[in-house]
Amino acid sequence: MSNKLRVNKNRYNTIQVHLGYDISSYDIEDIKSEIRSEPSVESTLIATWDVSFLTDGVDGKLVLVINTEVASQITANSGYMDVLLRTDDNEDIPAFDEPLEVVFQGVVTE
């Protein structure tokens, strides 16, 4: 992939995600986003984003956060993430066509 998401180690990270469709029918507990070592749900979990709606979900916009405590535990250099929507049948449906590549970078100043 040409566009990689950059996540800073040892820092509070927040991103906005626009899925492009109405997700207001989902409970926020049914939306999750994880960063894993490979583009597979069976691969090693690196970090989990805290997910919230930016507004009411009708606009398809989410806010994803990895707090400083979680970010400081990251030792990997890269990974893959997706946003998963849980259906009424307890099936996780990926929101993206393919996982996004993530690059972890250290901080320059302390």
- Whole-prediction pTM value? 0.89
In angstroms, the CA 41 to CA 64 distance is 19
Give the model confidence (pLDDT) of 39-88 as tens digits: 998 999 999 999 999 999 999 999 999 999 999 999 999 999 999 999 88
Rounded (5°) CA angle 100-32-68 = 80
What is the CATH number assigned to the segment(s) 5-105? 2.60.40.10
